[in-house]
Structure 1
Amino acid sequence: MSDDAADSAADGVEPGKRLVRTSGRAGLSLADRISEHFYRLTWRTPLHDMRLKGRHPLKLIAVAEDPFFGDPERGNALLDGVVMFRGEERSIAGLDFARADWSKPFGEYLQSFAWLRDLSSVTVRVTAAPIAEAITARWLAAHADKVSEPAWRPDLWGRRILFWTSHAPLILSANDLVYRSSVLHALARGARHLDRAADRVPLGVPRIAAWCGVLAAGLMIPGGDPRRSFGETGLKRALDGSVFDDGGSVGRSPAGQLEAIQLLTMLCESYDARRIEPPAFVQAALAKMVTALLGVCHGDGGLASWQGSGPIPGQVIAQTIEATGVRTRALKQAREWGYQRLAHGGTVLILDAAPPPLSRLVQGGCASTLAFELSDGKHRIVVNCGGSGMADASIPTALVDGLRTTAAHSTLVLADSNSTAIHPDGTLGRGVIEVELARHESENGSRVEASHDGYARRFGFLHRRIVALGGDGRDIRGEDMLIPADKRRKKGMTSFAVRFHLHPSVEISPTADGLAAILRTPDGHLWQFRAKGGALAVEDSIWIDGAGKPVASEQLVITAESPPGGANVSWVFHRAK
């Protein structure tokens, strides 16, 4: 048996067909939304305020290590008196938490206190503490005693507790006893709030963050043993509902997967600070989550761009995995998470072979079913535009919304429509419900055949894609087919396009016959692309880099029309040099 075949056996990959089903695309029902609205209104009542009262801790039992290095650029900006995040800036002197005039991503960065990591990464405590305490004091003045959104959102409190307890020397170094007491009092109130609210946030990263906060408080605040026991039960329940058996998160976002791993690793550091062994279920979850994360990493070690994620650099991934202590291989077939990894001879192809995530579990889901990304060694070739969930503030909202569409992904687009509808409010609507999948492994390479029903209701077609990667990694052969979904066929021709967005570093040289193109990677490798069944053109595209900034690029586009009986387009990438 070859190494690739052995890896496949370890992944449980068996030839044959498997049907992936979802329970619907709907978000929260009207009754659920009304219930949630009234629950949040109770935060303002005297009863909830009574629930937050209790003993004031005088100190923390221990201080956990933050095992992750922050962003030096953001850290240095803080030293200059500026909070900076994804192209948005605010002066520390002008911060007014009571009248927030910033975007949601900036607010989450600021109010989660994730900036403490960036600040601690660029200077020593004596320099960082006055800056950290100044921002913390402003937050306390606006929100310590007033329970409101978004400041008291459970997932933000969970993150805040992790960062406060990991960077306590930066926010508790002052000689001002009133200020120190205010910080510890707010921490205790936030923990009591989480005790009741952690299970009210959506499954996935938000609920994991909330329960990690409960546990960190139970470990670091004196008298927290009952909370720790309660929190471990809650976190296990959250992980059972938020992480698939294959290790992928229910939101299907690689960036979300990375964040969940980092949250759990920070929690493990809290246990370590108390010299207590983390629960076995946390370590087991980390092991399978790291395996799944590696499955969506390219040859450069960075993340692929799926479900709002961007190409987070390989050094961030490597540092995160090192901090977990997990040693494992990349998962090739994620049955439930849905990403198929084909890897031979230094070539990596990652295919999205599952429906988009449920609307009630994510914000900003993407219509990317059956798209793929391709890399040769450390160089990416075929990409998705990506980055809608981490876009720089300078990018117009309309463009950010466009990054979620099917056309922004390397797949077939029928009648210039999304395979899964994207509503004006940003939620996902009807579209892909079922994905049928067959994967075959042999010494000659890997082959995946998958189809989805996202266009069946509106246009009467199934989209089927076949992708095969040769055993030496030099050939990728593919075919995209439109197959009638039932006997009732719609009349007339339907236009479609098969898009291959290319990384900005790839140079394109179309051939004279208009049927092929030569692609050159930065290391001099030449890839020949040839298509059959449609007209080939080179069009402008855009790619969101690891910092969330837009970079101009190009795309190969095969256009054709399908009669009611269906159509097919075949294509091949061949590494000539």
Structure 2
Amino acid sequence: MTKERARHSAGSGAMNRLAALRAARARPATGFVSQPEPRTIGSYARGKQLIAGNFLLAGYLIEGPGLSAWDLPMPDPSFEAALHGCIWLDDLAAVGDRAARERAQAWVFEWIARFGAGRGPGWTPDLTGRRLIRWINHAILLLNGRERAQADAFFRALGAQTLFLSKRWRSASPGLPRFEALTGLIYAGLSLTGMERLAPPAAEALARECAAQVDAEGGIPTRNPEELLEVLTLLTWAADALRGAGRAPAPAHLEAIARIAPTLRALRHADGGLARFHGGGRGAEGRLDQALAASGVRAAPPEGRAMGFARLSAGRTSLILDAARPPQGPASGNAHASTLAFEMTSGRRPLIVNCGSGAIFGREWQRAGRATASHSTLAIEGFSSARLGPEPRQGHPGAALLDETPTEVWVRPEGDPAHHILAGHNGYSPTHGMTHTRELALTPDGTSLAGIDTLGAMTPEDRKRFEVIFAREGLRGIPFQIRFHLHPDADATLDMGGTAVSVALKSGEIWIFRHDGVADLALSPSVYLEPGRLRPRGALQIVLSARVLDYACQIGWTLAKAQATPAAIPEPGRAGPAPSDF
């Protein structure tokens, strides 16, 4: 963390504490203007685990049967933030029985007793907005059977947090944290008696943020598809709350929803999950379809790139390629060096993937997951296409920003843009004088993908730099690898005397990977990083290794379906609506 970032974080924390203490002494809310209805969906399985005393938050499992949530050891700031954000209330509400209600009530009222006076780490704008939404959503569960004095304490705490947000939402980082803070403020302002005056300014501020943060293509600066889904969900909730109170959402607010929904459709694979780029995951099961349906926007995906991603689609196959510069500046805190990486899904089965975000497994895994080698693309050995800056000090939130990124990323559709694309980037020009170009062609029936990856020195300056590196390496050339990470459910084996790889999906499909013989082929271990698990999942990766011995090296490869899904093997979710239905 730079000194400037550290000073800003410390100053913001002090102002948050002061605002929280003042808000706790202010005149409280006295009740609800109208009966709140739950809008958030939780997991029944996670709820049962919480009741049993197993807390799986931010990738950490803490076993504390009989312990209060607030007496648990805190293994990491991210675990503590997840506790104070209270999203776990969604999971307890999904269970909904007496034991779940007792846990929810006990932990919320203990939070009020310990932290409600304005103390503790939960008083940040984004966590407060997140917490307010859950408390209001599940107020019936939390107040059921409680005495008047406890209800009064609940409303005092809600009022204090609402007033805190009205003073401190501007200190939330632009993007998702600020959207969370403002949506929580709108929710509370519309729901709580005595807080109605705070809703109109918050709605106006949310509209300004929509205009500033959601670009003309429906994208956000972080280029994180799952984060974009969260933004759409918050904006839809806020719009519904405003309409429910007889207020019209601002045009900029509604226009942002209208831009985001088609972009998310373009970033959705054939199996209904989101492409996993720049720190984002696939999204909770059903969350994307629900958000798109709730938005009311039926527009088709945009032509060309969506938030910098290109999409090829045919038959049962979808491919999504990262075809733009990585996020810059503060928006790059979770960004990956994934330029020209792609993911590919056949029907309901992911085939080619990226390793994903390792943030939930600690900083070392987070840093590893951001490297180019953790993505299905070309990487010069020991280098990434974008470089990471220094890590924050231990105990401080956040992650390293991207320091150096490709200055040029270009895309040229070839023939039919839905099936054929040519793209390139100069991320290796400063270090090796090399440019990576990738051409991908998907057959109209979606059964075969052909690729050509080229690593070459394109300009006189690049050739001079390459010659220096080439001489320094003792004329052995510049080593590089092209990786194709496989989903852990895919079963892969070397075939045809080691010249091909057979990949069997659980659907019964078999895909064959071949190459032109320029590179060496290997099947190597990989990992698949996903939330909700205690450790990374083991997987495999197809690796093509070669060296640039001249000014350029070109490698061709194909991935073709050799056997279709047998009719007797049903695919998961086929009984439900297809992703294109929303």
Q: Which residue of 2 aligns with 1:308?
A: 279
Are residues 1:540 and 2:510 paired? no
Q: CA deviation at 1:331?
A: 4.1
Q: Call closer, same or farther: CA 1:539–1:82 in 2, change over 3 Å.
A: closer
Contact 2:332 2:401 in 1 (8 A): no
Q: Structure 2 residue aligned with 1:399, among 347, 365, 372? A: 365
Q: Which residue of 1 aligns with 2:323?
A: 353
Distance 1:430 1:534 in 2: 31
Q: CA deviation at 1:121?
A: 1.2
In the superposition, the TM-score normalised over structure 2's length comes to 0.86
Tell me the SS of whatever aligns to 1:56: coil
Contact 2:438 2:452 in 1 (8 A): yes
Moved more, 409-418 or 436-445: 436-445
In structure 2, runs of 5+ residues without a counterpart are 392-398, 471-476, 564-582
Q: Which residue of 1 aligns with 2:255?
A: 284
Distance 1:377 1:431 in 2: 37
Are residues 1:63 and 2:47 paired? no
Q: Which residue of 2 aligns with 1:143?
A: 115
Q: Which residue of 2 aligns with 1:207?
A: 178
Q: Which residue of 1 aligns with 2:559?
A: 573
Q: CA deviation at 1:219?
A: 0.6
Q: CA deviation at 1:37?
A: 2.6
Q: Call closer, same or farther: CA 1:272–1:173 in 2, change over 3 Å.
A: farther
Q: Structure 1 residue aligned with 2:544, among 551, 558, 563? A: 558
Moved more, 499-508 or 316-325: 316-325
Contact 1:215 1:227 in 2 (8 A): yes
The residue correspondences of 1:179-258 to structure 2 (distance < 5 A) are 179-258=150-229
Q: CA deviation at 1:474?
A: 2.3
Tell me the SS of whatever aligns to 1:453: strand
Q: Which residue of 1 aligns with 2:576?
A: none
Distance 1:550 1:81 in 2: 23
- Residue type of the partner of 2:10? H
Q: Call closer, same or farther: CA 1:151–1:521 in 2, change over 3 Å.
A: same
- Residue type of the partner of 2:438? R
Contact 2:20 2:160 in 1 (8 A): no
Q: Call closer, same or farther: CA 1:100–1:138 in 2, change over 3 Å.
A: farther
Q: Which residue of 2 aligns with 1:522?
A: 506
In structure 1, runs of 5+ residues without a counterpart are 1-26
Q: CA deviation at 1:224?
A: 3.3
Distance 1:546 1:328 in 2: 30
Q: Which residue of 2 aligns with 1:134?
A: 106
Percent sequence identity over matched residues? Answer: 27
Are residues 1:489 and 2:465 paired? yes
Tell me the SS of whatever aligns to 1:576: strand
The residue correspondences of 1:165-180 to structure 2 (distance < 5 A) are 165-180=136-151
Distance 2:314 2:561 in 1: 13
Q: Call closer, same or farther: CA 1:278–1:572 in 2, change over 3 Å.
A: same
Q: CA deviation at 1:295?
A: 1.8
In the superposition, the TM-score normalised over structure 1's length comes to 0.86
Moved more, 560-569 or 81-90: 81-90
Tell me the SS of whatever aligns to 1:304: coil
Distance 1:69 1:373 in 2: 28
Contact 2:176 2:231 in 1 (8 A): yes
Distance 1:74 1:184 in 2: 28
Q: Which residue of 1 aligns with 2:566?
A: none
Q: Which residue of 1 aligns with 2:310?
A: 340
Number of equivalences: 542
Q: Which residue of 2 aligns with 1:3?
A: none
Are residues 1:387 and 2:357 paired? yes
- Residue type of the partner of 1:410? S
Q: CA deviation at 1:192?
A: 1.7
Q: Call closer, same or farther: CA 1:284–1:254 in 2, change over 3 Å.
A: same
Tell me the SS of whatever aligns to 1:479: strand
- Residue type of the partner of 1:422? L
- Residue type of the partner of 1:293? L
Q: CA deviation at 1:81?
A: 4.5
Q: Which residue of 2 aligns with 1:164?
A: 135
Structure of higher RCO (CA pairs closer than 8 Å, 6+ residues apart): 1
Q: CA deviation at 1:560?
A: 0.6
Distance 2:72 2:62 in 1: 16
Q: CA deviation at 1:162?
A: 1.0
